[in-house]
Structure 1
Amino acid sequence: MDWYTVKNVDDIDSPALLVYKDRVMDNIRKVLTLVELPQQLRPHVKTIKIREVCTMMLDFGIKKFKAATIAEAEMLGMAGAEDVILAYQPVKTKFLRLLKLIRKYPGTQYSCLVDNIDSARWFSDLISGVERAENRVPLQVYIDLNVGMDRTGIKPEYAYDLYHAIRSLTGVKFKGFHAYDGHIRVSDITERTAQCDRDFHQVELLRRKIMEEGNGLPLLVAGGTPTFTIHSKKENVECCPGTFVFWDKGYQDTLPEQDFLYAALVLTRVVSLPHVNKICIDLGFKAIASENDLQNRVYFLNHPSFKPLSHSEEHMVISVEKDHGLKIGDLFYALPVHICPTVALYEDIFLVKDAESSINWKVVARDRMITC
């Protein structure tokens, strides 16, 4: 049997997301070997969205996390995470939800991002009122730095004044800097390291300038999967890989030095034979991430030569040789090129252990709201 084969596959309707528990655990063990201490890791759970998988990381000593949504942050509170950054600068509605979250899960230290003084002052005014009313400690904030993504954040060369302005406010407390470098994706690790060092040069100058004032070297929360091993070698840095838990074809092809295991697949079936050299499977837009071009969305482990011909909401048509021998109901084990948005398409996953699926886990943080 191939590692991905599921014995009781007839019990699973398709399309379905399969997660292989032992391979997830192997990936968690692997990521711990790539840093000196578990404390250097702050995995991003935007890929995972499953409480039980977060609990697995907690069991391995990983206690700090990053979340993209309030629902992901609440999932981590439910799991008992010690420290969670909302990797977002919240506007009013989201900020009020964050305050509800803080009240509901007092055992979890929550923080958020800020990249301008107006938002910081607004946070300060609101949280100061809550603090007086409820005797609460200030909200910790990280200054979000723009190191090349040009999506959010302040340029490092302008962040020094913002740092001092925030330190003068009540209700909020500067915790450190945050910088996401998703634009750094070059395959060669030497080139990737060089680009990372260039793009973070101003960040290091900023941190050293603050340290020279006698305040210590500020914490930096940095990177994603492509750069986390680079950042892990720096002083007082927490790094934020996320995809490593499930892995995908995209990173397998572009990050050759990271040998994590595929741990999540989509099970799909042949639903029609429309032509002698075409088959149709139930793997539509709603079943697998489709933001890439058609030829860069999926790889079929048990049919590696097959390529998509067309894609729609419920169906994917594949070009095949005339004598393909496939029948209605035949299985395809589909490896997503991008696993993160694929997970978000499913309400639950089928957990596979010892080649059998026996339980389902909810993708609880797929929802925009759990309770807060």
Structure 2
Amino acid sequence: MNLPPASALPQTPLLVVDRAALDRNLRKMQALCDAAGVRLRAHGKTHKCSTLGRLIVEGGAVGLCCQTVGEAEAFVAGGIQDVLVTAPPPAWAGPRLAALAKAGAKVGVVADDEGQIDRLSDAAVAAGTMLDLVVDLDLGTHRTGVYPHEALALARAADASPGLRFAGVQAYLGHLQHLDDGALRQSADEAAFATLKALVAELTAAGLPPPVVTGGGTGTHAFDLASGVFTELQAGSYAVMDVEYDACGAPGGGDWPFEPALYVAASIVSARHKSHVVCDAGFKAMSMDGPPARVVAGAAPGSLWRPMGDEHGMIAHPATLDVLKAAGRAPLGFAEAVTAADADPSREEPADAPRVGDVVWLQPGHCDPTINLYDALHVWDGERLERWAVDGRRVSL
């Protein structure tokens, strides 16, 4: 873990990337893909940063995945010329995607109904360009995609539509990525591979062999690369990692080949209580759709971060966690437990608790939505911070 000194931070909370760890993660995933003979199409929804995206492509990836049209536009504007939008497009999206292709980018997009295909075809024809159409499959996530038995009809519709090329199928198994039962994660993934292989055979027999079979993710990457069916891997979180992936464990067991590279720097702004101190990182600094952020530096080992509102979070010392436990036993438990701890003359503030002005380092629970809260990644190379804009964040026109 290579973190900048507090004197190098322009402000807090600040999203900081350890460049050395990032580079190691990128090289490891590219090497794993190369060894398996599978193209890497890293998912840009994780970082939404064209500078990082270019680094991934320059390292050997065929291109990037995007979850939104805005990400695709930002990545193409940032110099990435091969993008795949991995979510079925809204009705307004066709002309904007066609404009990217018209300008010279290779643009793919998934679809899961014929109306989407018709609209994309109309937009591509109107722009005088071509879009790659990938049929989106639902193998259990139940978010988007067609069941496998419905895929051939969409493949035929794409193949017959002017302005579109049938480019293959997408199978993203999002519901498996964070399963903490490693054996179940593997067996469910392998069952999906069998279904996917049968579909590829069906499409091939119908004269529509899929040029690309794309999908997979960080949580199943080892199984995906060994499957023999994927031709592209869509992993994204491997670049920076987070608490959620650390908690579920690497596919196949053992240690992850990737390491944490993303942190939030927070300043201690108040230390008025014996049970905890308060930092300037709350809900607005850290996504809370996964496990809580982990304290990794600047406080005693075992300290906990918990949000205390929009702008603030607590750092609780391991010696005072009894206060937090007591706080959960009554409707006004937190206020009562903290007040009692402060009034207890036998209780002292831990000598190694952070003080006002100190910086505490937090590892996000879920990297993707946490990055989306910031305008930039501040990348530390051991000597200086470099600002990389998170230019793929959702914007309003």
Q: Same fold (TM over 0.5)?
A: yes
1:118-162 CA-partner distances (Å, limit 9, x unpaired): 22123223322332xxxx3x3210000011111111101121222
Of 10, 13, 20, the match for 1:12: 10
- CA spacing shift, 1:181–1:236, aligned 2, 3 Å: closer
Equivalent pair of 1:211/1:218 in contact (CA under 8 Å):
no
The farther-off stretch of 86-95 and 337-346 is: 86-95
* Distance in 1, Cα, partners of 2:7 & 2:72: 33
> Do residues 280 (structure 1) and 272 (structure 2) align?
no
* Distance in 2, Cα, partners of 1:87 & 1:217: 16
Correspondence for 2:294: 299
Of 125, 142, 148, the match for 1:150: 142
- CA spacing shift, 1:56–1:313, aligned 2, 3 Å: same
* Distance in 1, Cα, partners of 2:212 & 2:9: 49
Of 293, 311, 316, the match for 2:308: 311
* Distance in 2, Cα, partners of 1:111 & 1:266: 34
The residue correspondences of 1:165-180 to structure 2 (distance < 5 A) are 165-180=157-172
Q: What is the identity, as a one-letter code, of the residue corresponding to 1:244?
A: Y
Correspondence for 1:80: 79
The farther-off stretch of 246-255 and 95-104 is: 95-104
| Structure 1 residues without counterparts, runs of 5 or longer | none
> Do residues 232 (structure 1) and 225 (structure 2) align?
yes
Q: What is the identity, as a one-letter code, of the residue corresponding to 1:207?
A: V
Equivalent pair of 1:39/1:62 in contact (CA under 8 Å):
no
Q: What is the identity, as a one-letter code, of the residue corresponding to 1:253?
A: A
TM superposition shift of 1:97: 2.0
The residue correspondences of 1:17-32 to structure 2 (distance < 5 A) are 17-32=15-30
Q: What is the identity, as a one-letter code, of the residue corresponding to 2:85?
A: L
* Distance in 1, Cα, partners of 2:6 & 2:268: 18
Correspondence for 1:327: 355
* Distance in 1, Cα, partners of 2:126 & 2:52: 37
Q: What is the identity, as a one-letter code, of the residue corresponding to 2:21?
A: R
> Do residues 46 (structure 1) and 39 (structure 2) align?
no
Correspondence for 2:236: 242
TM superposition shift of 1:189: 4.2
* Distance in 1, Cα, partners of 2:389 & 2:222: 31
TM superposition shift of 1:77: 1.5
1:284-329 CA-partner distances (Å, limit 9, x unpaired): 111111123xxx3111112331224543100112333342233211
Of 166, 170, 184, the match for 1:191: 184
Give the percent of matched residue pairs that are identical in Structure 1 and Structure 2.
24
Equivalent pair of 1:286/1:345 in contact (CA under 8 Å):
yes
Correspondence for 1:126: 123
- CA spacing shift, 1:214–1:116, aligned 2, 3 Å: closer
1:364 match: secondary structure: coil
TM superposition shift of 1:344: 0.8
CA RMSD of aligned residues (A): 2.1
* Distance in 2, Cα, partners of 1:306 & 1:208: 53
| Structure 2 residues without counterparts, runs of 5 or longer | 321-347
- CA spacing shift, 1:167–1:59, aligned 2, 3 Å: closer
1:191 match: secondary structure: helix
1:152-184 CA-partner distances (Å, limit 9, x unpaired): 111011212222232222222210001111101
- CA spacing shift, 1:188–1:33, aligned 2, 3 Å: farther
Equivalent pair of 1:147/1:200 in contact (CA under 8 Å):
no
Correspondence for 1:352: 380
1:284 match: secondary structure: coil
- CA spacing shift, 1:75–1:126, aligned 2, 3 Å: closer
* Distance in 1, Cα, partners of 2:218 & 2:30: 13
Instruction: Say which one has the larger Rg.
Output: 2
- CA spacing shift, 1:84–1:309, aligned 2, 3 Å: closer
- CA spacing shift, 1:145–1:30, aligned 2, 3 Å: same
Correspondence for 1:162: 154
Equivalent pair of 1:8/1:357 in contact (CA under 8 Å):
no
- CA spacing shift, 1:178–1:331, aligned 2, 3 Å: same
1:199 match: secondary structure: helix
Correspondence for 2:341: none
1:206 match: secondary structure: helix
Q: What is the identity, as a one-letter code, of the residue corresponding to 1:89?
A: P
* Distance in 2, Cα, partners of 1:215 & 1:100: 27
Correspondence for 1:181: 173
Q: What is the identity, as a one-letter code, of the residue corresponding to 2:385?
A: S
Aligned length: 357
Equivalent pair of 1:128/1:170 in contact (CA under 8 Å):
yes
1:226 match: secondary structure: helix
TM superposition shift of 1:78: 3.0
1:166-209 CA-partner distances (Å, limit 9, x unpaired): 22222222100011111013235443221012134332211111
TM superposition shift of 1:14: 0.5
